[in-house]
Amino acid sequence: MREALQNNKTVARKRFEGLVRRFKCDHELFCEYKDVIGDYVMEGIVERISCDSLSNSQGFYLSHHAVIRSDKITNRLRIVFDGSAHEDGHSSLNQSLYTGPNLHPNILKLLLHFRENPVAFTADVKSAFLQIELDFPDRDFTRFFWTDNLNNEPYVLNFTRVLFVLRPSSYLLAATLKHHFKKYKEQYPHTFDLLNSSVYVDDLIGGRNDIPNVLRTALECLQIFSDAGMLLRKWRTNSKQLNLLWQQEGVKTEFSESSVVDLGPRIKDLWTLGVDWDSELPPKLRRKWQQWSSEAEDLTEIRIPRYCLDNGIHWKFIVERVPWWGEFYERLVKTVKEPLRKVLGKVLLTFEELSTILSEVQIIVNNRPLTCGE
């Protein structure tokens, strides 16, 4: 990495000077920006670099800017560092870093398992990435310019913790957490299994069958993360005893599947009349579409129940309504399945390969050459 990176001090300095000009036009923004950097310094997240270190070591400078969240009353300013900026013809910091393997659980499986438990809970790790320290030689590649006085020359700070914007950040967090969780495999086996499979980036998404198990798991999770210097916060649950925050059952509405089905004939009417996409609708069709549009507003009120195992799905096979009748269709499937099993065994085929083989079988079956009769 060090060999591939070129000194980008000039580019980073120019971008910081542009930020300073913005500060001079918006002093309130500068004060908020200054408070955030000051908190970083007090918490040891960033540190000031001495002149000797700047001259004796290779480094890389990160540009940064402000993102304002107007929907928040407190902490509405967030400083974003750019790990992808680079000079023409040179690599950026992110291009020079190894991303690492994906250690996160499959999000689909995670959400499906989440819906299996009657009592669900979620939590969030506060500033998870900033709780992981950077190795000393790597800190030189997280430098950035800053100044407490807009009339003074800027000085250089560098990060002592992992930045979220860097490519391997997600891997570093996941690898660190999994390594820490292994320490509790024997002490808290059930909680270890949960954490190992239900933590996605910095979010814990899990559940248990009853409230006592949830309380026990929550206390064990708090202890495990606390031992790593991390705070597990923003707990949410669907249990009334644990401060009900969302309903187990979805909100019922008057919008039914028939309203969706009714859309089909309306589209068919448009095709039949040959109405173009930018043409005005006939009065009769216009009234129908206006009626459907008013009913479709109820779509915003639909809620899908989170817990999905309280009512099972009951399947019924009605032979009389099945094309070719059920048993006859199954016999047809068997006549194809048995020969394929003998020929292919356990070989896995793509859809195209299977289609090709079935087509060749069809050709052989339909090929009935004439023979001489006696």
Q: What is the DSSP letter of 348?
A: -
Residue 231 buriedness (CB in 10 A; 0-12 / 13-18 / 19+):
middle
* CATH homologous superfamily, domain 107-128+168-249: Reverse transcriptase/Diguanylate cyclase domain (3.30.70.270)
Query: What pLDDT sits at residue 339?
Result: 75
Query: What pLDDT sits at residue 241?
Result: 74
Query: What pLDDT sits at residue 302?
Result: 59
Low-confidence ranges of the chain (pLDDT < 70): 1-4, 52, 56, 71-74, 243-264, 277, 295-332, 365, 368-374
CA–CA dist 142, 63 (Å, integer): 10
C-alpha angle 155-33-159 in degrees, rounded to nearest 5 = 50
Query: Over the stretch 238-268, which tens digit does the pLDDT of each residue have?
Result: 887 776 544 444 434 444 444 455 666 777 7
Please report, for the chain, the start and end positions of each structural domain, with discontinuous segments joined by +: 9-100+134-159, 107-128+168-249, 316-365
- Cβ-based neighbour number of residue 141 at 10 Å: 23
Quote the pTM value.
0.65
Query: What pLDDT sits at residue 217?
Result: 93
Q: Which of 77, 81, 56 is nearest to 145 (CA)?
A: 81
Residue 211 buriedness (CB in 10 A; 0-12 / 13-18 / 19+):
middle
If you search the block for the tokens 């309380």, which residue do you land on?
215
61 close to 8: Cβ distance less than 8 angstroms: yes
Query: What pLDDT sits at residue 213?
Result: 92
3-state secondary structure of 367: coil
Domain 9-100+134-159 bears CATH identifier 3.10.10? yes
CA–CA dist 45, 131 (Å, integer): 9
